[in-house]
């Protein structure tokens, strides 16, 4: 996608600036003596708080052959600790009028609760407890392993689109661990055991590998005091592995996959390109790719691909483009076209290439670009009300 990136690399960087400006002066950043980072975002519109702990440990940090262990451990963290019974964590949150959940990505695992602001200390007490005092039984392992295998069946194995994305990602990342699915390959997830879970837990679940984020109706100094009380006594690991991952080799040949599945009601063509990650220090490339995705495929009625292929030639019933900018290492830029009735996949792909070539020749429509910038600014402002 570098050939397209060059066209927009000089666009002014406004991505994320609206949100940053809106909360400027309301974000406080601290670091405890044990290395834990504490970020506080003030929002006094309602007496509510979101308490989150992010661990710098995701599927890309897993040992070879143990895919899915990061996500597996996410499930297991809701089991027992020295002071809480299995499932009691979420029960206490619910009893206090809150909600909680967790998620795993390539690079991070995060746990969060949304609850009344005066219950923040209770959340920190429980979360700091399971950071270091998790207790796992063999029954826990068997039960939760069955859960994640069923989750894989529902979300991936029984979804042709998800299967294709999984295979495409594996083909795109030949050397980098992003080629391994977050939920794990089934044949490896089936063998995960208690020793695997505890080894990953002891290696990565520590204050010096975590970021505490508290957002809501809070005072930063009071949050810091609570963090020092509950997280401060936890010992750091002191020997965290350096996050250096293998890079991708130069691509010398086209990689094309064809997935045939009777469950697919309408065939489509999807392309994925390696793309630069969003660098916190220099976001110009990421901003350019974000805008490029909007220009090419952000809206069927106004985007370059949509206007040309869905309305003018009517060769497609859907087109789209997307840039994923949430990863620590190089990410992806994607294109998709769903052919209209009577249009073959090859015809659709050729038509898309023709439109892209014309776009490269014509350049960016200035009016369209201004509209997209206004839409982004508006959506960022509206997001502050969520």
Q: Which helix (H) or strand (E) holds 293?
A: helix 284-297
Decide if 295 contacts 319 (C-beta within 8 A): no
CA distance 93 to 109: 19
Residues whose CB falls within 8 Å of the CB of residue 277, separated by 6 or more in sequence, listed in order:
286, 325, 327, 328, 329, 330, 331
Is 74 assigned a catalytic role? yes
The span from the CA of 234 to the CA of 132, in Å, is: 8
The encoded tokens of residue 96 equal 């206090």
3-state helix, strand, coil in the chain (%, to 5): 45, 15, 40
Query: Cα(first)–Cα(last) distance of the chain, in Å?
Result: 34
Residue 54 host element (H or E)? strand 48-55
For 115, other C-beta atoms within 10 Å of its C-beta total: 22
Tell me how far the alpha carbon of residue 234 is from its chain's centroid.
Answer: 28
CA 124 to chain centre: 24
Residue 301: strand, helix, or coil = coil
Where b means 16+ CB within 10 Å and e means fewer, 298-312 reads bebebbbbbbbbbee
Question: How many C-alpha atoms does 251 have within 13 Å on its Cβ side?
Answer: 12
Place of tokens 């200390």: 121
Catalytic entry in 33, 62, 74, 349? 74
Q: Are 114 and 97 in contact (CB under 8 A)?
A: no
Please choose, from the candidates 62, 105, 69, 61, the residue with its C-alpha nearest in 3D space to the C-alpha of residue 190.
69
Strand arrangement of the beta sheet that strand 48-55 belongs to: 27-31, 37-42, 210-216, 48-55, 109-116, 99-104
To the nearest 10°, report the CA torsion of 77, 80, 84, 88: 70
Residues involved in catalysis? 74
């Amino acid at each position: 996608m570098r050939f397209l990136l060059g066209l927009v690399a000089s666009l002014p960087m406004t991505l994320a600036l609206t949100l940053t400006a809106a909360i400027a002066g309301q974000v406080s950043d601290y670091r405890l003596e044990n290395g834990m980072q504490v970020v506080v975002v003030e929002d006094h519109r309602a007496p509510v708080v979101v308490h989150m702990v992010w661990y710098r440990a995701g599927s890309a940090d897993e040992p070879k052959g143990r895919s899915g262990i990061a996500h597996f451990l996410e499930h297991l963290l809701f089991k027992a600790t020295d002071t809480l019974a299995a499932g009691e964590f979420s029960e206490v949150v619910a009893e206090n009028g809150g909600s909680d959940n967790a998620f795993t990505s390539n690079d991070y695992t995060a746990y969060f609760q949304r609850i009344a602001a005066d219950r923040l200390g209770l959340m920190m007490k429980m979360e700091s407890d399971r950071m270091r005092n998790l207790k796992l039984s063999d029954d826990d392992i068997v039960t939760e392993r069955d859960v994640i295998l069923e989750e894989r069946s529902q979300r991936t194995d029984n979804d042709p689109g998800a299967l294709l994305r999984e295979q495409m990602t594996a083909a795109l990342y030949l050397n980098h661990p992003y080629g391994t699915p977050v939920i794990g390959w089934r044949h490896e997830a089936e063998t995960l055991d208690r020793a695997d879970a505890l080894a990953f837990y002891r290696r990565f679940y520590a204050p010096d590998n975590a970021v505490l984020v508290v957002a809501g109706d809070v005072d930063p100094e009071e949050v810091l005091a609570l963090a020092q009380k509950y997280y401060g006594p936890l010992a750091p690991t002191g020997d965290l592995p350096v996050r250096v991952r293998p890079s991708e080799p130069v691509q010398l040949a086209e990689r094309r996959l064809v997935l045939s599945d009777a469950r697919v009601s309408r065939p489509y063509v999807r392309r994925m390109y390696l793309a630069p990650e969003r660098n916190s220090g220099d976001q110009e490339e990421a901003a350019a790719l974000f805008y490029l995705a909007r220009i090419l495929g952000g809206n069927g009625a106004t985007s370059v691909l949509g206007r040309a292929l869905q309305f003018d030639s009517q060769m497609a019933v859907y087109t789209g483009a997307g840039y994923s900018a949430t990863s620590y290492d190089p990410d992806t830029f994607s294109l998709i076209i769903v052919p209209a009735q009577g249009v073959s996949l090859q015809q659709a792909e050729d038509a898309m290439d023709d439109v892209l070539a014309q776009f490269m020749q014509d350049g960016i429509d200035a009016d369209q670009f201004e509209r997209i910038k206004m839409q982004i600014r508006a959506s960022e402002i509206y997001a502050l009300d969520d």
